[in-house]
Each structure stands twice: as C-alpha cells, then as structure tokens.
Amino acid sequence: MEKLPVMSKEEFENRLINGKYVVEFKADWCPDCSFIKPHLPAIEADFPEYQFLQVDREENLDLFRELNVFGIPSFIVYEDGQEVDRLVNKARKAKEEVENFIRNANK
C-alpha cells in the first residue's frame, strides 16, 4: 500500500484520475486504525483490480477537511477520478466489513 505525501485536494484528485483506487484515511495514534492494519495486506490481495493508497490525517489535515472525512479509519473508493462510495465514520471496522464495502462499491 502506497502512503501518499502531503498534498492539496487538486494534487490528490489528479493522482486518482486514471484507474480504480481504495484510499484508507488513517492516523498512527488511532487504535481503530491499528485494529484494521494487520488485515490490510489480505484485503489488498483480495482486490487486485484496485490500487490501495493511504492518507495520514496528521500530514494531510486540510485534505481530510476538504474531503469531509470526519472519522478514522475511513475508506473511499474512486474510479477514474470520481468518488464511487465511502465508508467514513468513527467506528472500528472489521476485515469483512471493509471487504463487503469494496465488493459493493460499484453496485
């Protein structure tokens, strides 16, 4: 999973212009982010058609605000630069929940 550097909303949108992406919004201090972290490699392996990216809250607070991401960990699916669906809330997320979200994002 690629961790994105500090970037503006415009840079972020340009990064996602072509392809299918699952973006995880997280923070190192977040216990619920730590809970899902060991499952991320398996989730990524289960969806090879997506490129997985991470955005750190502490490094990209303005981006979080501009994208209305008000809970972590959160996941947003993008296809060719367009947001398809989001799982954005403050709740702990299990592997199955994240996989079901990704699986149903294009339906």
- Distance CA(36)–CA(32), nearest Å, equals 7
Catalytic residue status for 89: no
Q: Residues 33, 43, 55, 67: which is the catalytic one?
A: 33
Q: Is 33 annotated as catalytic?
A: yes
Say which amino acid occupies 82.
Q
Q: What is the rounded distance in angstroms from the CA atom of residue 18 to the CA atom of residue 14?
A: 9
The one catalytic residue among 30, 55, 102, 105? 30
Measured in degrees and rounded to the nearest 5, phi and psi for residue 30 equal -80, 115
For the annotated catalytic residues, the residue numbers are 30, 33
